Amino acid sequence: MSAEHAHARESHGAGHVSPISLYVTIFLALMVLTAVTVGAAFVNLGQFNFLVAMVIAVFKASLVVWYFMHVKYQSRLTKLTVATGLFFLAILLGLMLVDYGSKGFVPMPPPIDSESVIGGSPAAR
């Protein structure tokens, strides 16, 4: 048994039983945060609307991952796995924005042939 293996086993807490009160608290927190998200969406914060919504969503997701999914009590390897997913997602989004961000979002491409889906004015149909 490798050292890491043994370590993982010791710190492994899949058997950790969380109290019901914790689960209920998390549930209530999630509901409140949902309400906050909806509320915040009706306030004009300009660019920050999106940021606020995402920060709340990330926070909610973290609560679920951390408590409902027991990552808090899991081995470092599990935490690393979660982090790996987020890291590579960040690479995908980040490097794609290197392109889209630097070429600017070009004007909406118009269809070229007249028989395309849009045709003239849809109101005319």
Partner 1 sequence: MLDKLKIPDRHFLHDGHSLRSWLLTKDHKRIAIMYLMSISVMFFIGGLFAVGIRFELATPQGDFVSADTYNKFFTMHGVIMVFFFLIPSIPAVLGNFLIPPMIGAKDLAFPRINLLSLYIYWIGGFVTLYAMIAGGVDTGWTFYTPYSAAGSNTHVVPTAIGIFIAGFSSILTGLNFIVPIHRMRAPGMTWFRLPLFVWAHYATSLVQVLGTPVIAITIVMLFVERAFGFGIFDPARGGDPVLFQHLFWFYSHPAVYIMILPALGVTSELVSTFSRKTIFGYSFVAFSSLAIAIFGFIVWAHHMFVAGISTYAAMVFSFLSFSVAIPSAVKVFNWTATLYKGAISFETPMLYAYGFMGLFAIGGLTGLFLATLGLDVHMHDTYFVVAHFHYIMVGGAIMGYLGGLHFWWPKMTGRMYSEFFSRVSAIMVFVGFNITFFPQFVVGYLGMPRRYHSYPDEMQVLNVMSSAGATVLGLGYVLPVIYFLYSLKYGKVAGPNPWGASGLEWHMQSPPLTENFVEVPEVINEPYEYEHAVVKETHHV
Partner 2 sequence: MTIFGIPVFPEQASTFAKDVDALYYFIFAVSAFFALTVAVSVIYFGLRYRKRHEGEIGARIEGSLSLELLWSVIPTLIAMVMFGWGASVFYHLRRPPDDAMHIYAVGKQWMWKFQHLEGQREINELHIPAGRPVKITISSEDVLHSLYFPAFRTKMDAIPGRYTELWFEATTPGTYHIFCTEYCGTNHAGMIGSVTVLEPAQYQAWLQGGGETGTLAQRGARLFDSLACNSCHLENGQGRGPSLKDIVGKTVTLQDENTVVVDDAYLRESILTSQAKQVKGFQPLMPTFQGLISEENLLALIEHVKSLSPQATTAAPAAPPASADATAGKPPEKK
Partner 3 sequence: MSDTVAHAAHHAAAHAHHPAQQHHFDTMPQQKEAAVLGMWVFLLTEILFFGGLFVAYMIYRVWYFDAFAEASRRLSLFWGGLNTAVLIGSSLTMAMAVRGAQTNKRKATVNWLILTMILGTVFLGVKVIEYQDKFANYEVPGPNFNWLAHEQHEAAAGEHPSTALGASVAAAPAEGEHRKLSLTPEQLQRTTQIYFSLYFTMTGLHALHMIIGIGLMSVITWMAWKGRFDGEYYTPVEMSGLYWHFVDIVWIFLFPLLYLVERHQ
**CA nearest 67: which of 38, 32, 30, 31?**
30
d(CA 39, CA 50): 13
Of 17 and 106, CB closest to partner 2? 106
d(CA 17, CA 40): 35
Q: Which of 3, 110, 122, 123 binds partner 2 (CB under 8 A)?
A: 110
Residue 95 contact, options partner 1, partner 2, partner 3, none, Cβ 5-8 Å cut-off depending on partner type = partner 1
- Cα distances (Å, whole numbers) of residue 43 to 31, 46, 47, 49, 54: 19, 9, 11, 8, 15
Contact status: 112 vs partner 2 (CB under 8 A): yes
Interface with partner 1, residue 58, by CB under 8 A: no
Verify binding: residue 20, partner 1, rule CB under 8 A.
Answer: no
Query: If contact means CB under 5 to 8 A according to the sort of partner, which of partner 3, partner 2, partner 1, none does residue 98 touch?
Result: partner 1
